[in-house]
Structure 1
Amino acid sequence: MFKVPMKQILVFLLFWTMIPPLFAGSLRFNPISVGDGLSHSTVYSMWQDQQGFMWIGTQDGLNKYDGYGFTIYRYDPLDSTSLASSNISSLTQTTDGMIWIGSWGAGLVEFDPYREVSRAYRHDPNDPASLSNNRAQVVFTDRNGTIWVGTAGGGLNRFQRDSGTFVRYLHDPADSLSLSHNRIWSIDEDPAGNLWIGTDDGLNRFDPQTETFQTFKHDPAQPQSLSHSRIRTLKVVSETEIWVGTQAGLNRFNPLSGIATHYRHQPDDPNSLSGDVITALYPHHASGTVWVGTTNNGLNRLDPQTGRVSRYQNDPRDPHSLSHNNVRAIYEDRAGMFWVATRRGGVNTFRLVPERFQTWQHDPLNPNSLSDDIIWSIYEDREGILWIGTGDGGLNRWDRKHQQFTHYQHDPADPTTLNQNDVRAIFEDRFGALWIGTDDGGLNRLDRQRGTFTHYEPNPDQPGSLSNKDVTCIYEDQFGLLWIGTDGGGLNRWDRATNTFIHYRHDPRNPHSLSDDLVWLIYETMSGDLWIGTGDGLNRLDRETGTFEVFHQRQETPQPSPLYLINDNIRAMYEAPDGVLWIGTSGGGLHQWDRTRQKTQYYTTNDGLPSNVINSILPDENGNLWLSTNQGLSQFDPLAESFRNFDVHDGLQSNVFNPGAGLKTRQGTLFFGGIHGLNEFDAKNIHNNSYIPPVVITSIKRFDQELPVEPPLPLANQIRLPFHHNFFSLEFAGLNFIQSAKNRYVYRLEGFDVNWVRAGTRRYANYTNVPPGTYHFRVRAANNDGVWNTEGASLTILIDPPFWQTWWFYYLEGIVGIMVLSLVIWSVSRYTQNRFENNRRSQELSYARQVQFSMLPKSDLYHETVEVVGKMITATEVGGDYYDFIELEDDQYCLALGDAAGHGAASGLLVGMTKVSVIQAIKTRKRHITLEHFMEQFNAALKASNLQRGMCMSLLLAVIDTRHRRLKVASSGMPYPYYYRKAEDRLLPLTIKGPPLGLLTNIQVQSRTILLEPGDFVIFLTDGFMERLNLQGHIWTHEAVEKALHHICRGETSAANVAQRLVDACNQFANGREPEDDLTAVVLYVKS
C-alpha cells in the first residue's frame, strides 16, 4: 500500500486551501486561434449580425465566422472597394444590414457584407464637416439608428448619414459643459436616451437635446467618487446603475446620486478582482453577475450581491483555460454563448450551463488525485466508496464525501502489497472482502483493516490454482459463488471451502465447452442465468452439468438458434427491466435480444452509433442506455431507436473508453473510464442546447467557381440560370456556434428530388443535368443537440430553356422546316439509292444515341453512407450500354447496368425495353420476388418476343441496403464486378456466371451478397474496357483492368475520382484510338 505520512497530508491540505480559487465555478474555454483560420491573434471587437454570422475585428483583418471557417477581409491597395484599413477597433451594424467599422488609422468604414465592398469616411483637415480624427476607437449605434464615433484624440462625432458629414463634439477647457477629454474609450446609452462616454479624463453624460456634457471624475477628497478618471469601458444597466471600468478598478456607479461602489484588486484577497486595469465589461442580466476583463490579469465573474469574484486565467497545463490574460472584449451571442476577445490569444468561447461531463484525471502536482489516467475498472462498495483500477497506478480508493484519494500500489520489497499496478477488475463479495484482478499479476484480496493483500496466482504444480495471471473480470452470483474471468485461461470458480479454483476452458473437441479462453464479462440475469462474454462468442452456463450453450455469429445459412450475433467479440451486457438483453460487441455494434419474442435487432454506425465497438452499457433513470465506445459516449433511446452522441468536445476525457470501465452508483451517477481519465455525470443534468439555428444559403457554384447573383446571397430569394448552367452546387450553413461540427442538414430541390436528402453534417448539395424549369431549393438545419429549424432557408431557381426550346425558335423552325421539306422533296429524286441508304443509317445512329442517353439517370447517387457514380464513354458507332439508379424503400437503392448486343437503333430499343421493365418490376416488386426470379422472367419475355437473330441483353442488377451496408448482386452475361476491400487492400472479382438474356429459353441466374465496410469500393464495368484496342491492335485485357483498378482504389475516397481515373487509364492505353464499343463504369463507395 502507498502510504503518506499524516504530517505531509496536513501540510498538503493547508497548501491547497491557501491557493486562490482561480478555477472557482469552473468554465471550459474553447479557443479560436490563428491555427483555426482567424486572421490575427489580437482581437478588439466582436458582433453577431442580423443573419447570425459572427464578425471579429482584429489587428489584421475583419473576419466573418460561420462556425466552420472564416472569410477574411483586409485592406488591398490595388482594390478601391476593399477595407480602408485592416486594423479593426470597433464594430456595429445598422438595420439595413451594413457593418460599421471603427478603424485605427482609416476613420469610419461602411462595409456591405453582401456585396463585400466598403466605403471609408476619413478626416479631411480642410473640411470641418469631416471626421475629426482617423483613429476611430469606438463606433456606437443609438436607439434611433444614429452612428456615433469616438476617436483617439478627436473627441466625439455624430455621423449624418444622408449627407455623409459629421458633427464634432470636442473638449473646450473654457467650457465646463463640453466633453471632458478628446480621447474616447467607450460609449453606451441609458434608458432616457442619454449617451455615456468614457474618456481619458472622466465619465461624461451627453444630453442629445441640449448637446451638453456633464462630467464625473475621481476626486481624492470624495471616497465615493469614481476610483479613477481614465474610463476604459462602461455598460449601462439602468437609470440608477452603470458599470464603469477604469485604469484603477471597477465601479458600480449610480448617476442619480453620483456615488460609486469600488471593486479593486487586493493582493491578499482571492475573492477580489484579479487586476485593476479594466478593459472589458458585460453585465449578465439573467444571472445578475458582471463579467470583467482586465489587462494581463484575465477574466473575472463578479457577484454584486455578495461581492465575491471568480477568476479565470490562463493555465499553460490546461488547453481549456483562458488562452491569454489580456482581455479586450466580452460578447454574448443569441444562443447564450460567451465570446472573449484577447490580445495575442485570439477568441475564447464558453457557456454558463453546467458542464455535461466532469473529468477526473491524474495531476502530477496533486497527490490527492487519481494515480494514473488509464482507467480499467470502477466499483462502488457497500459504504459508497469508489474503487478505481488504473493502467499503471494501481488501485485507488476514492472517498467522494471527503474528496480523498488513497493509493494502493505494488512495492517489490513488500510481498503484502498489490502484486501488479495494472488493475483490470474489482468486486466486493457478500462477506465484505474486496477482490482485485490484475493484468499479469493474478487475483488479489484486500484486507482493508491492515491494508495488505493476499495473492492468488497460477501455479503449474497446483491444479487447483488460478488458471491464468491475466484477470479481466470478477463476479459473485446469487448463490455466493465467486467467478473470475481471465485472458487466456478461460473462466474460474473459486471454492471457498478448499480455497481452490475450478476451471472452465475452451475445448475445440467439445461444442458445449466455453467458446473461447478470453473472457470479457460475467453477467447474471434476474432469472439466475449466468452469461459469459468471450472474444469468440456468448455463453450461457448450465450450472448442473457445467456445460455451455454457445451463441456464435450468424452464418449465411441461419442456425437453429434464438440469438443471432453479427460479431462474436462480446464486451458488454445489460438486462432491461422488461427482460430484454442488450449486448455490446467489439465491431458489431449493439444487439437487442427480445427473448420473449425470440427476436434479435442490431444497431451499428449505419443507425447512428459513433462506433461499432461497445465497451460498457449502463442504464439511466429515464430508460435510456449509455454506451461507451471507441468514438465517445452514446445515449440510446430504445423506444425512439435514436442515438445522441458525445465526444471529447463535450468534455469527455477522450473519445476512447476501456472495456468494462463503467459504473452506475446507487445515487444514479454514471462513471466511464478511458485512456485519459474518468468521466462522471448525472444523465438528468445533461442540458440540451435549445437554440434554433438560423439557416443561410451562402453560395451557388459551378465547377467550384462562384456564380454571380444579384441581389447577392443570402439576400436573394430567386435566381435565374442559363440552360448550360444546369449542373451546380449550393452551399449552406446553420449558424449555431456550439459545436458547429455536429450541426446536421436535410435539403430538397422541389421538382427534382423526390424526397428530402439527409446530408448529415455535409453543407453542400450537388446537382447535375437539371432540366429547364422552375425549382425550389429548401434546406433545414439542426443544432448540435438535434433541435431543428424546420422553416429553414429557401431559394427559387429558374433554369432557362435553350433557344431551340423557345416559342420563337419553334415558329422559325416551322418556316425553315417547310423550306427544307420543299428542298428535300425537290432533291430526293436526285439522290442515288446508296446515298439514301447512308442517310437512313446516319439517322438511325443519331436516333439510337438519343435513346441511349435518355435512358441514363439525371444525377449520380449521393447518400450520407454511400456514393454511386456512373461514367459512360460512347463509341463512334452507338453501342448498347445502359445504367440506372432506382430509389426503393427503407434506404435501399437498385443499380442496373446493361449491355445490349449489337449497335444502332435495335440495341437502343432493346435498352429502352430493359429500362422500362426494370423500373416497373423493381418499383412494384413484392418482397418475395427476388432479383434472380425477375431476371429469369425477363429472359423468358425477351426470348418469347422473337428478337432479331443474335440480339440479346447482358444485365446486372444490384440492391444496396445503405442502412446495413449490404449489397446483393445478380448478373447474367455481364463482366464480373470488382470488390476492393480497404481493410485488406485487396481487389476481389465477384464471380457470377450466366448467359446473356434472350438467348436461351430457361436460365438460372446467380447472385452474390456481401457486407461492405467504410472505405470499400465496388466497381461494375461493361466489356468495352476489357476489349479496348490500342493503335497496335492489342486489347487491354481483364488482367490489365484489375491491375489499374487496384492501383486506383488504394487510398482513394471518391467514387467519381475512381471512375474518371479508370477512364483516363483506359484512354492512355488506347493511345488515341477511338473505342469500337461503349465503355461504362459504375462505382460504389462506402463512406467512412
Structure 2
Amino acid sequence: MKPKAYLFFILLSFSYFLGSSENYAQSTNLWADSSSQKKNYVMEIWDNSNGLPQNAVFAMKKDKSGFLWVSTEEGLVRLDGISSKVFDRGNYPIMKEQTYYTFYKSENGIWASGDRSIAFLNKSILKVIDCSSISQFSRIRAVFEDQEGRLLIGNSQGEIYRFENEQFVPLEFWKPVVNLEIQDFFQISQSELLVGTTSGLYKINIEKNTTKEVAPSSFSAMKVFGNSNHTYVFSPQEGIFRINEELQLEEAIPIQEVKDIDFNSLTLDTENRIWAGSLEGGLIFIENGEVNRFNYPEMNKYPIRGIIKDGSTLYLGTLGKGLAIVKPARVKQPNFEELQKKNIKALIQGSDSSIWIGTRSDGLFRIVGNKIDSWKEEDGLLTNGITTLATKEDKVYIGSSQGVSILDIGTGKFSAFFTKENGLKNNYVQAVYKDSKNTIWILTRNGGLHYIEENGTIQQADLPAEFERTRFVSILESKNGDMIVGSMSRGVFRIRDGVFIENQPLPLTPSEDIIYCIHEDKDGTLFFGTHGGLIMLRDGQFKSLKKQNGLQTQAVYSFTNDGKNGYWITNNFGAQFFSYQEFNLFKESTDDSFFIGSTLYDQSVGMPNSEANGLIFPAVARDFKGRIWVPTVEGVGIIDPSLQSSLEKEEIVFQWDELQYGDKKETINEEITIPEGIRMFQVSFSLIDFKNPSQYSVFYLIESKSDNWLPLKDQRFLFFNGLKPGNYTLKVKILRYGQQEAIYSLPIRVSASFFETLFFKISLGLAVILLIYLALKFYLGLRLKNQLEAKVSKRTLELSQTNEKLKEAVKEIEKQKEVLHELTWNQSHLLRAPLSKAIGINQLLLNYSKYQKVEKSKEELEQELLSSLKQVDEILKDTFNKSENLKKS
C-alpha cells in the first residue's frame, strides 16, 4: 500500500470506526496494518465450518426484520449475529433452484434472482416465482418492485417483463434497437428506473410507458449504484461515472485506476464514499476522486464480491473465504509490538499512572504514555518469569519463582533482592502487596507469610504449627485493618498486627479450595474467587455462585468493582460482567438454582485471547481512568466500562422466527396455533446483533404452567413435547449487560382433537358412568342370582333333607300306625270282654228284679262289676304306657 493512501485511510476511514475513543496511552489509529499484529478491530469469519454451506458469497443484503441474507452456491443463508439458518432445496422444497446470484431490496423485503426463478425473502422464504417460461434460453439478471408491489424482471436476452396476475407480460414500450443483456435496475424516482445493460444505459418511466437513452450502446453499463443524490454507473471500458440531475455522465474515476475492480461489489456508504473489492484481492476505497487500496491480513488476498457498510461494521462477502464481518474492538490492546502475543502475568498501576506489566518469560515492562521500557535477566532481574507486582513510593517489588527483585524507578536499576538467603521462607513468591500503612507483604509457598519492617528487614507472621507449610496465594487489607490471606487448600487466614487471629475453611472440595482473589464490598461482605466458583461470606454464612448459576467456568481469577456499572471477573473464557442489579439479586436470593445474567467479553469483542491468566497477583489492574487491564496468554486486553453507557441505549432487535412440527415450517407472526393431534413442536426466535451478540442473557417461561424464569444461554429455540390442549403464553426475557431490557410474549394455542374436547370428555364421562352403572347392575344382578341360586340350592338341599326326613317320618308314622293299630286292635279285644261283662252286669243290676233265676246276689254282681271295671282300667293304663313308649321311640 502506498504510504499516502494508507495514511489517508487510517486517518479518515478508521477514525470513523473508532470515533472519539481514547487511545489508552498509545497511538490513536489502531486498525488494519498488514505489517504487524497491531489492531483494534475484530474480524469474524463465517464459512463452511461454522454456518455457511459453501464459501463463495455472491450477494448480501439485510431484510426488513434485520437479518443478513447471504447467497452461496449451495443455498441461501440467514444470519442474526450468533447463528445461521441455511435455506436449500432439501430443507425448503419451495425453492426452485439452489443458487441465487443477485439481491434487490424493496420496502417489503428482498428479491433474490437465480437463473430460472426469483424468491422473496423476509425472515424466511415467503414466495418463489418460477421464471422458466421467460428464461428458457437466458438467465434472470435483474428484479425491481414498485411501491404497489408490481414486479419488473429483466433477463440476459435483453427482455423486460411485468409480473401481473401470476403471469409474465412483456414490457410493451421496451424496444431496444440493439442486442443487449439486462444487467441492473436502479430506481431514481417513484416511477422512473435506470436500466443498465451491456449496450447502453436507459431510463424508463413505468407510468408514462416511455424509454430514453442515457448513454449510447457503445457504453457498457454493468453496474448502477449509489443513492438518489449520488448515483454512479460503472463501465469496464471507461471507469466510474457520476450521473447528475440532468442524467448526464460525469467521469469520476478513469478505468486505468480501477482496472482490477469487481463491479459486482461496488457500493456507496452513508458518507458517500465508494467501496469495492479488487479482483486481485483486498479492498478499494474511493473518496474525493482518490483511489486507496488496503488488505486485511486475515483475508489473505481472497477476492471480495460483496460489501455492506453499516455504521461501524463492514460486511465482506468473498469468493473462497466466506463472509467476513469487521467491527471495532470493544476490548482494546496496547499498541506496542513488544507486548503482542506475549503471555501476560501480573499487572499494576503505579502512583505516577505508569502501567507495570509482568510476563511469563519475557521479563518486566513499563508503559508511560506512548513509551514502553523493559527489564530482563540481563538487566538485573532475578528471572524473566514474573508472578506478582507491587509499587511503593519510588520502588517496584517484582515477585518471581526466584524471589523478589526491587527496582528503583528513578534510576531504572535494581537496588535490592529478597530470597531465602536474606529472609524468605521460600523463593517462589505468590504475591506482594502494599497495605494502607505502606507495609509490603510477601506471600510464598510452604508457609511463607512475611512483611517488611520500616528498617527493611523481613519478619514472618506467627502461625500455628499446622500451617507452617501452607501455600499462600492472595491477600487483601480489610476495612478494619486486618489482613485477609487466601491459601491453597487451607481456606482463609486473618492476621492482625502481624499476629494470627483465625483460620476459616471454605465450603469447597480439596481440588476447588484455591483462593485466587479476595474482595470486600462497602457493606463488609467478603467475596473469594476460587477454583470452585465465587464464594460470598456475609454475617458468617457462605453462599456460592458457580457454573450452574451463570459463571462461564468454575475458576474465578479476579473480582473487580468498576465503580460505574457492576462487577467484572476473569476466567478461562475471558472477562464476565455482572450488573449491580443482577449481582444484588444473587446476594439476596435464597434459591440455590438462581441464574445470574451476565455479558462475556472474549476474542469476539477484541480480547487478544479468551483465556485470562490466574494464580497471579494482582490478576487484573484497574487504572485511574477506570479501565480494566486483563492479562491473557496472548497479550493485554483493556476494557473501558464507561463505554457500556452508550451501548445500553442501542435498540434490541428481537424477532419471533419459525414454528416447526413434523416436516412443516411456518413463519411466526403474532401468535401460533398448534394443530390438533400435534404434541411435539419447536418455536425459534432471534436476537439480531452483529456487534456483540454475547451481551445478552436470555430467560423464558411458559405462563399458566410455571412462574420460574429458566435460562437459555446461547440457545435460540424451545422444544415442546406433551403440552396439553389449551392456551399458553411463551415469554422471553432479555437482559443486556445484566440489566433487564424487555419481555417478549407469544400466545400459543394448542388445539384439542375430538378426543380431547370438552364434549368428548363429557360424553366419555357419561359413557363411563353408564358403563359403570351397567357393569354394577350386571354384577349386582349376577351376584343376586348367585345368592338366590345358592339359597335355592341350600333350600332345595334342606327340602331334600327334610323330604327324606319326612319320608322317614312317614315310614315311622306308618310303622307306628301299624304298631298303634296292632296295639289298638289288641287292646280293643282285651277291653271288649271285661267291658261287655261290666255292661252286662250293669244291665243285670238295673233289671235285677226281672231276672228270677239269677244265682248270684246283687252284692256279688256289684263286686264282679267293680272287678270288670278295674280290669278295664288296668287295660287302659297299660295302653297309655305303651302309647307313651311309642311316642318316645
Question: TM-score w.r.t. structure 1 length?
Answer: 0.60
Aligned to 1:502: 459
- 1:736 maps onto 2:682 in alignment: no
Aligned to 1:256: 246
For residues 890-901 of structure 1, the aligned pairs below 5 Å read: none
Task: State the distance in 1 between where 2:639 and 2:559 align.
Answer: 15
- 1:534 maps onto 2:494 in alignment: no
Tell me how far 1:671 sits from its aligned partner.
Answer: 0.6
In structure 2, the CA distance between the partners of 1:185 and 1:438, relative to structure 1 (3 Å rule), is farther
Task: State the distance in 2 between where 1:69 and 1:393 align.
Answer: 39
Tell me how far 1:756 sits from its aligned partner.
Answer: 5.1
Aligned to 1:796: 749
Q: Is the 8 A contact 1:243 1:253 kept in 2?
A: yes
1:619-640 superposed Cα distances (whole Å, 9 cap, x missing partner): 3241522222233212233354
Aligned to 1:90: 102
Q: Is the 8 A contact 1:693 1:788 kept in 2?
A: no
- 1:468 maps onto 2:426 in alignment: yes
Task: State the distance in 2 between where 1:111 and 1:638 align.
Answer: 41
Task: Say which of 296, 303, 309 aligns to 2:280.
Answer: 296
Tell me how far 1:672 sits from its aligned partner.
Answer: 0.9
Task: Say which of 390, 396, 409 aligns to 2:376.
Answer: 409
Aligned to 1:6: none
In structure 2, the CA distance between the partners of 1:251 and 1:799, relative to structure 1 (3 Å rule), is same
Task: State the distance in 2 between where 1:812 and 1:505 align.
Answer: 86
Task: State the distance in 1 between where 2:558 and 2:445 align.
Answer: 18
Task: State the distance in 2 between where 1:264 and 1:388 align.
Answer: 52
Amino acid at match of 2:382: N
Amino acid at match of 1:417: G
Tell me how far 1:720 sits from its aligned partner.
Answer: 4.8
Tell me how far 1:156 sits from its aligned partner.
Answer: 4.2
SS across alignment from 1:805:
helix
Aligned to 2:844: none
Aligned to 2:568: 626
1:469-520 superposed Cα distances (whole Å, 9 cap, x missing partner): 22222223343432222233522223563x54323475434xxx67x64232
Tell me how far 1:83 sits from its aligned partner.
Answer: 3.3
SS across alignment from 1:685:
helix
Aligned to 1:241: 230
Aligned to 1:488: 446
SS across alignment from 2:570:
strand
- If asked which structure has higher relative contact order (CA below 8 Å, sep 6+), I would say 2
Aligned to 1:212: 211
- 1:437 maps onto 2:390 in alignment: no
SS across alignment from 1:148:
strand
Tell me how far 1:428 sits from its aligned partner.
Answer: 2.6
Task: State the distance in 2 between where 1:309 and 1:496 align.
Answer: 66
For residues 654-733 of structure 1, the aligned pairs below 5 Å read: 654-659=609-614, 660-686=618-644, 687-688=647-648, 690-696=650-656, 698-701=658-661, 705-706=662-663, 708=664, 712-714=666-668, 717-722=671-676, 725=678, 727-733=679-685
1:665-721 superposed Cα distances (whole Å, 9 cap, x missing partner): 1222221112121111211113247332333252344xxx44x57xx3425844354
Tell me how far 1:822 sits from its aligned partner.
Answer: 7.0
Aligned to 1:586: 530
SS across alignment from 2:339:
coil
Tell me how far 1:107 sits from its aligned partner.
Answer: 4.8
Aligned to 2:323: 347
Tell me how far 1:385 sits from its aligned partner.
Answer: 2.5
In structure 2, the CA distance between the partners of 1:813 and 1:482, relative to structure 1 (3 Å rule), is closer
1:200-256 superposed Cα distances (whole Å, 9 cap, x missing partner): 35544333324213324799xxxxxxxxx5444333423x42144554655554333
Task: State the distance in 1 between where 2:316 and 2:381 align.
Answer: 49
For structure 2, list consecutive stretches of 5 or more residues without a partner in the other structure: 1-26, 584-595, 791-889
Q: Is the 8 A contact 2:273 2:286 kept in 1?
A: yes
Tell me how far 1:616 sits from its aligned partner.
Answer: 2.0
- 1:30 maps onto 2:7 in alignment: no
1:816-838 superposed Cα distances (whole Å, 9 cap, x missing partner): 77877776676555558999xxx
Amino acid at match of 1:295: L
Aligned to 2:514: 569
SS across alignment from 1:369:
helix
For residues 597-996 of structure 1, the aligned pairs below 5 Å read: 602-622=544-564, 624-641=566-583, 643-648=597-602, 649-659=604-614, 660-686=618-644, 687-688=647-648, 690-696=650-656, 698-701=658-661, 705-706=662-663, 708=664, 712-714=666-668, 717-722=671-676, 725=678, 727-738=679-690, 740=693, 744-753=697-706, 757-767=710-720, 769-771=722-724, 773-780=725-732, 782=734, 785=737, 788-802=741-755, 805-806=760-761, 829=784
Task: State the distance in 1 between where 2:114 and 2:508 align.
Answer: 70
SS across alignment from 2:338:
coil
For structure 1, list consecutive stretches of 5 or more residues without a partner in the other structure: 1-12, 124-129, 175-180, 220-228, 268-272, 316-320, 362-366, 557-564, 836-1088
Task: State the distance in 2 between where 1:809 and 1:488 align.
Answer: 78
Q: Which deviates further from its counterpart, 58-67 or 655-664?
A: 58-67
Q: Is the 8 A contact 1:327 1:342 kept in 2?
A: yes
Q: Is the 8 A contact 2:32 2:39 kept in 1?
A: no
Aligned to 2:360: 391
Percentage identity across paired residues of the two chains: 16
In structure 2, the CA distance between the partners of 1:200 and 1:33, relative to structure 1 (3 Å rule), is same
Q: Is the 8 A contact 1:103 1:134 kept in 2?
A: no
In structure 2, the CA distance between the partners of 1:834 and 1:827, relative to structure 1 (3 Å rule), is closer
Task: State the distance in 1 between where 2:484 and 2:406 align.
Answer: 24
Q: Is the 8 A contact 1:387 1:396 kept in 2?
A: yes
Q: Answer 1 or 2: which has greater helix percent.
A: 2
Aligned to 2:843: none
In structure 2, the CA distance between the partners of 1:767 and 1:84, relative to structure 1 (3 Å rule), is closer
Q: Is the 8 A contact 2:696 2:735 kept in 1?
A: yes
Tell me how far 1:802 sits from its aligned partner.
Answer: 1.7
Q: How many residues align?
A: 737
Tell me how far 1:357 sits from its aligned partner.
Answer: 0.5
Aligned to 1:458: 419
For residues 164-179 of structure 1, the aligned pairs below 5 Å read: 164-167=168-171, 172-173=176-177
Tell me how far 1:388 sits from its aligned partner.
Answer: 0.9
Larger Rg: 2
Task: State the distance in 2 between where 1:600 and 1:494 align.
Answer: 33
SS across alignment from 1:802:
helix
Tell me how far 1:308 sits from its aligned partner.
Answer: 7.5
Q: Is the 8 A contact 2:222 2:234 kept in 1?
A: yes
Tell me how far 1:95 sits from its aligned partner.
Answer: 7.6
Question: TM-score w.r.t. structure 2 length?
Answer: 0.72
SS across alignment from 1:35:
coil
Task: State the distance in 2 between where 1:331 and 1:64 align.
Answer: 15
In structure 2, the CA distance between the partners of 1:809 and 1:652, relative to structure 1 (3 Å rule), is same
Tell me how far 1:586 sits from its aligned partner.
Answer: 1.5
Task: State the distance in 1 between where 2:38 and 2:441 align.
Answer: 45
Task: State the distance in 2 between where 1:585 and 1:383 align.
Answer: 29
1:854-907 superposed Cα distances (whole Å, 9 cap, x missing partner): xxxxxxxxxxxxxxxxxxxxxxxxxxxxxxxxxxxxxxxxxxxxxxxxxxxxxx
Aligned to 1:912: none
Q: Which deviates further from its counterpart, 139-148 or 736-745?
A: 736-745
In structure 2, the CA distance between the partners of 1:495 and 1:758, relative to structure 1 (3 Å rule), is closer
Task: State the distance in 1 between where 2:479 and 2:164 align.
Answer: 79
SS across alignment from 1:799:
coil
Task: State the distance in 1 between where 2:193 and 2:102 align.
Answer: 17
For residues 69-148 of structure 1, the aligned pairs below 5 Å read: 70-74=84-88, 83-92=95-104, 100-104=111-115, 106-108=116-118, 118-123=128-133, 130-131=134-135, 134-148=138-152
Aligned to 1:1078: none
1:707-755 superposed Cα distances (whole Å, 9 cap, x missing partner): x57xx342584435445x4x42433122424355665544444444455
Task: Say which of 428, 436, 460 aligns to 2:391.
Answer: 428
Task: State the distance in 2 between where 1:374 and 1:86 align.
Answer: 47
In structure 2, the CA distance between the partners of 1:523 and 1:388, relative to structure 1 (3 Å rule), is same
